[in-house]
């Protein structure tokens, strides 16, 4: 259960998609003066050294963030600015995970709740978010922790859910937990990341959301190759509940470009609405 380490995969094409969506939502939340809460159910270590033994073993970042030229993506200025702050030398050596990306947007009155079960990653997460009084790091089950926090006092917020799915039951669990979370906090924005290893499982997950009674659900997916079965992740996606009105337009612009930059033969993208208002 605790064998997964995101340090092997940091900066890959799935991270690029996930963090572009996360940033667009956080930018929207900060447009209002009122505070918000950020909840990360599977936070990881927060910051990843791309020159580490873990990262260089698979070198997934070389087929992800390393292939993107900031000059070709003016619509992603904020994303690349955040990366630059972690790479003062000008060379791509570090990649920030979702917790550190979130801290770039947190104001004094906003709060972050970061869950991570892996003992080593939880320790690193504490170090990477030290000296921030409005951030709480908990070595605990993020699924259970999420439900205990809802609804937040602010009544505004983003919940990011991106488990490793190393346990197949996680595909069912993410829906069950998010459906329950939505009942407690129906005005929150929820962003669920998923890997495409078996398309049938993802189709089942999407049908559950479509039939759930939850409104305002969008889906964004980036595939670097045709769907494959049993040969690893060929695509990944984000299901977003209560997305900001700007998100669909942003992803409609960015996803076709990402397919060209990151994809191979059979690459594709999906950018659509699963459930309307």
As annotated, the active-site residues are 162
Q: Which of 218, 169, 157 is closest to 192 using CA atoms?
A: 218
Distances (CA, A) of 95 to 7, 84, 122: 10, 9, 17
Give the torsion through C-alpha atoms of 127, 129, 132, 135, to 10 deg: -120
Neighbouring residues of 40: CB distance < 8 A, sequence distance ≥ 6: 98, 99, 102, 112, 113, 114, 115, 142, 160
Cβ atoms 87, 93 nearer than 8 A: yes
Give the C-alpha separation, 95 to 50, whole Å.
7
Are 262 and 14 in contact by the 8 Å Cβ rule? The answer is: no
Q: Provide the token pair at 138.
A: 């908990």
Burial 264-275 (b: 16+ CB within 10 A, else e): eeebbbebeebb
41 with 146: CB under 8 angstroms? yes
Q: Take residue 74 and report the two structure tokens written for it.
A: 């003016």
CA Rg value for the chain? 17
Residue found by looking up tokens 């991570």 in the block: 116
Cα dihedral 126, 106, 86, 12, rounded to 10, equals 80
């Amino acid at each position: 259960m605790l064998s997964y380490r995101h340090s092997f995969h940091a900066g890959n094409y799935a991270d690029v998609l996930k963090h572009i969506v996360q940033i667009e939502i956080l930018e929207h939340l900060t447009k209002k003066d009122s505070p918000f809460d950020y909840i990360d159910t599977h936070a990881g270590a927060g910051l990843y050294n791309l020159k580490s033994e873990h990262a260089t073993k698979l070198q997934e970042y070389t087929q992800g963030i390393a292939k993107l030229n900031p000059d070709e993506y003016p619509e992603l200025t904020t994303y690349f600015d955040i990366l630059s702050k972690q790479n003062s030398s000008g060379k791509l050596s570090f990649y920030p995970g979702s917790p550190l990306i979130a801290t770039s947007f947190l104001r004094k009155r906003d709060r972050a709740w970061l869950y991570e079960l892996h003992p080593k990653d939880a320790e690193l997460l504490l170090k990477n978010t030290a000296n921030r009084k409005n951030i709480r790091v908990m070595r605990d089950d993020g699924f259970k922790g999420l439900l205990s926090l809802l609804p937040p006092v602010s009544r505004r917020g983003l919940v990011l859910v991106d488990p490793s799915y190393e346990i197949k039951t996680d595909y069912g669990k993410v829906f069950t937990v998010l459906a329950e979370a939505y009942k407690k906090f129906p005005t929150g924005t929820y962003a669920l990341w998923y890997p495409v290893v078996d398309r049938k499982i993802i189709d089942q997950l999407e049908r559950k959301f479509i039939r759930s009674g939850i409104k305002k659900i969008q889906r964004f997916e980036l595939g670097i190759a045709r769907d494959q079965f049993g040969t690893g992740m060929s695509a990944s996606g984000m299901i977003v509940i209560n997305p900001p009105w700007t998100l669909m337009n942003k992803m409609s612009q960015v996803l076709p470009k990402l397919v060209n930059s990151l994809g191979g033969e059979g690459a594709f993208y999906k950018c659509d609405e699963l459930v309307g208002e």
